[in-house]
Amino acid sequence: MLDPVPSRIHEYADQAVSYVQRALGIKLEYDSDTLPVLDHYLRTVPDDQPAALQLVVATSGAYFGEVVRQRLGGRWELGSQETEWRIVLPTGINFSPVGFVAAAIAQADLEDLDSEITAPPRMLPYVQQALARMGEVSIDDYYSLCGRLDTIEHLHEVLVAVAAQLTTTDDDDLGEEVVEEIPEEMIHDPADALTIDLAEDLPVGAVLEPLSDEPSGPVN
């Protein structure tokens, strides 16, 4: 059963549905099929009206977060400002939907907003390996919400498989755990490649293979 949605999130997400339907005549359905419609809408948002832009970012962030939460589970963590809202998946992957939306509109990472994916320190090596297998993508794909969803779903699947393997590890041996290479069958090429916040310490004894094919990010 999904965690209850905070009333403010529910209200903002429904506002995003109304804005898109009014502008494009298409109703968003909280699914991946209509997510390209939201991407198209965000590309039409003018950046010369700060108040309106801020509202679009907040409402669309609430909507996108709900799309992810309804597909993968997890919960909302709210702060005093919309920029502090985060979705936390059952695997521990977490991100700022508002940051993703702002980056999609700007087609760039913004210094004052978080547009990265983070994960618990123990899982970061696996996430890094999965991202290292992804090739270059266009700027449109890199910043699109469809691309973000593809990447989040892939990383979530990888960490579900990793967590299942780790549950068989004896607790007494956790301090000596070695991070193995992710099996090839667990890797695919979703339409996006995101950066990871590696500021947190890795697990004690974690070993990563050399990343000779590190992703280069968006291409024009």
Rounded Cα–Cα distance for residues 181 and 73 (Å): 27
Sequence-distant (6+) residues with CB within 8 A of 71 are 32, 149, 153
Percent of the chain with pLDDT over 90: 59
User: Which pLDDT tens digit goes with each residue over 19-51?
Assistant: 999 999 999 999 999 999 999 999 999 888 899
Lowest mean pLDDT among 35-39, 69-73, 76-80, 189-193: 189-193
User: Per DSSP, what are the bridge partners of residue 94?
Assistant: 88, 118
Average pLDDT, the chain: 81
User: Per DSSP, what are the bridge partners of residue 217?
Assistant: none
Longest Cα–Cα distance in the chain: 59
User: Per DSSP, what are the bridge partners of residue 75?
Assistant: 88
Model confidence at 207, pLDDT cuts 50, 70, 90, reads: very low
Are 125 and 208 a contacting pair, CB within 8 Å? yes
Are 12 and 62 a contacting pair, CB within 8 Å? yes
The type of residue at 30 is Y
Are 45 and 53 a contacting pair, CB within 8 Å? yes
CB hemisphere CA count around 152 (13 angstroms): 32
Tokens of 144: 């699109």
User: Which pLDDT tens digit goes with each residue over 169-199?
Assistant: 645 454 544 455 555 444 443 333 333 333 3
Tokens of 17: 């549905």
Q: Considering only residues 196 and 105, tell me which one the structure prediction assigns the higher pLDDT.
A: 105
Are 213 and 181 a contacting pair, CB within 8 Å? no
As a whole number, mean pLDDT of residues 72-79 equals 95
pLDDT of residue 46: 87
Sequence-distant (6+) residues with CB within 8 A of 97 are 61, 62, 64, 65, 68, 85, 86, 87
pLDDT of residue 170: 46
Task: With a cut of 60, say whether residue 211 has pLDDT above it.
Answer: no
Are 129 and 198 a contacting pair, CB within 8 Å? no
Percent of the chain with pLDDT over 70: 75
Rounded Cα–Cα distance for residues 102 and 116 (Å): 12
Pairing of strands 137-138, 86-88: unpaired
As a whole number, mean pLDDT of residues 84-111 equals 95
pLDDT of residue 181: 52
Task: With a cut of 90, say whether residue 70 has pLDDT above it.
Answer: yes
User: By three-state DSSP, how is residue 188 classified?
Assistant: coil
